A and B are shown apart, each in its own frame.
Chain A
Amino acid sequence: MSEQLLIERLKQGEQAAFREIVETRQSLVYNTVLGLLQNAEDAEDVTQEVFIKVFESIRQFKGESAFSTWLYRVAVTSALEFLRKKKRKKRFAFVSSLFGDNNQPRHDPPDFVHPGVQLDNRENAKILFLTIKKLPENQRVAFSLHKVEGLSYQEVAEVMETTVAAVESLIHRARQNLKKMLADYYIQNR
């Protein structure tokens, strides 16, 4: 079945179309979100949120970009929103604990290892993910989409609604920053 037809059926609220979209795109969304959040539980939550948003706002999708590009955008925006919310929650965790609010934010496991990493790269990938967390938001998104999701510069540019040159620059700066931070990490952990 063509993607366009599937989207039309989803716009009409057809449950079977929604199921098909979820089952064929869950890996795309989950992998993108996991690369940004680096926490499997949070990634599952946000992936569910993404599909709920897709179901609720599919009428806003006008087909100006590919459906997958739109899906990546929703996934990246939701993951970043989640990270900001989590940061805010952590900041106010002490205050809310005074009022007996038990809705504490989940803590990230100290060593995140992406399940798709090759066995002989596990140690290096663990340190790299730890360092990626410290990158500025835009660099983090561009680097993650390119490295974790395997998108080309052109595709990353479409998702981030920017130019290919801007993406090249973002990824170049991300690499430079990562190198500096990795060097510092190894000096400190000597």
Chain B
Amino acid sequence: MGNMAKHNISDADLDKVLNSLDELKKAEPAPFFFTRLQARIAGKEDTFLQKLVFFVTRPAFAMCTGIFILLLNGYFLMNTMKEREIQQEESTQMLAVEYSSLNAPFDESNDEAP
């Protein structure tokens, strides 16, 4: 096929190239493949930890966490204040109801005999 370029390419020549993989022997990885695989598995666990530490210590992550905690605090603070307001309102209303029932004028009409 080295000289194929010098003349016209026939179908037979092309078939020869296409069939050049016939009787191909299987390729094997380099020796001690399993040892290298084990080392990679061990390294993979280390890499995950390293990535986690790297991610957690990034300023953007710290800032986002800080903002998130502040927002969470604000949310709980607002909720607590609202609850207190509602509680105060309820106790005022109850007091008003109690007070008005104590001072209600006596209904004399009920005493009249039929």
Check if A and B associate. Answer: yes
Chain A residues packing against B (C-beta within 8 Å): 19, 22-23, 26-28, 30-31, 34, 43-44, 47-48, 51-52, 55, 114-118, 121, 123-125, 127-128, 147-148, 150, 175, 178-179, 182-183, 186-187, 189-190
Whether B29 lies near A30 (C-beta < 8 A) is: yes
Closest to A15 in B: B38
**Main SS class of interface, B:** helix
B1-44: CB near A (< 8 Å → 1, else 0) gives: 11011100101001011101111111111100110110011001
Offer 18 A-B interface pairs, CB within 8 angstroms, sorted by A.
Answer: A22-B34, A26-B34, A30-B27, A44-B36, A47-B29, A52-B37, A52-B41, A52-B44, A124-B16, A124-B20, A125-B20, A125-B21, A128-B20, A150-B24, A183-B9, A186-B4, A187-B9, A190-B5
User: In B80-114, which residues have CB < 8 Å from any A CB?
Assistant: none
Decide if B29 touches A44 in the complex (CB within 8 Å).
yes
- B contact residues around A28 at 8 Å (CB): 26
Cβ A22 vs Cβ B40 within 8 A: no
**If the complex has contacts A186-B4, A190-B5, are A148 and B21 also in contact, measured as CB distance less than 8 A?**
yes
Asked whether, in the complex, the Cβ of B18 is within 8 Å of the Cβ of A123, the reply is no
- Docked pose: A148 CA to B40 CA in angstroms: 27
Chain B, Cβ-Cβ closest to A19: B34
Judge whether A179 and B18 touch: CB under 8 Å.
yes
Question: In the assembled complex, which residues on chain B have CB atoms less than 8 Å from the CB atom of A117?
Answer: 20-21, 24-25
Pair B37/A22 contact, Cβ less than 8 Å: yes
A114, B24: Cβ atoms closer than 8 Å: yes
Q: Is the CB of A148 within 8 A of B24?
A: yes
CB distance from B8 to the nearest CB of A (A): 9
A48 touches B37 (CB 8 A): yes
